[in-house]
């Protein structure tokens, strides 16, 4: 049973950067797709970026070219490097599988000021 803990969020100004981490209590090697999701106030949770076991990545159009997802299968960790942040990136960020069958963690808050 894999448990997920997100960290690395915070308050940054527009155009700034943050690096989010998702630590799993169990192995993620067998999970084909891992991903970062986000949910802004009043909005539905959306898929931001995904990565396969072998490292193939996909991104939402809104973050393409600005965010980079990666995974360390040995250390059971997923990362999200976020550059050129915009106020519209403000949300709680979560990691999970695709589809999201793992228990949700608490998420980490990202707030981008203008």
**pLDDT mean across residues, the chain:** 95
pLDDT per position as a tens digit, 68-100: 999 998 899 999 999 999 999 999 999 999 998
| Angstrom distance (rounded) from CA 13 to CA 22 | 23
Mean pLDDT of 25-41: 91
Comparing C-alpha atoms, which of 86, 100, 81 is closest to residue 34?
100
Cα–Cα distance for residue pair 34/63, rounded to 1 Å: 17
Hey, how many other C-beta atoms are within 10 angstroms of the C-beta on 49? 24
pLDDT at 91: 98
């Amino acid at each position: 049973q894999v448990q997920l803990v997100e960290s690395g969020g915070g308050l940054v100004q527009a155009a700034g950067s943050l690096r989010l981490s998702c630590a799993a209590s169990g192995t993620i090697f067998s999970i084909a797709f891992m991903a970062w999701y986000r949910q802004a106030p009043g909005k539905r949770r959306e898929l931001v970026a995904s990565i396969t076991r072998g490292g193939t990545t996909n991104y939402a159009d809104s973050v393409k070219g600005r965010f980079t997802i990666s995974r360390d299968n040995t250390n059971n960790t997923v990362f999200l490097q976020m550059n050129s942040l915009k106020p519209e990136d403000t949300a709680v960020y979560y990691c999970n599988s695709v589809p999201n069958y793992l228990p949700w963690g608490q998420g980490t808050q990202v707030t981008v000021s203008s």
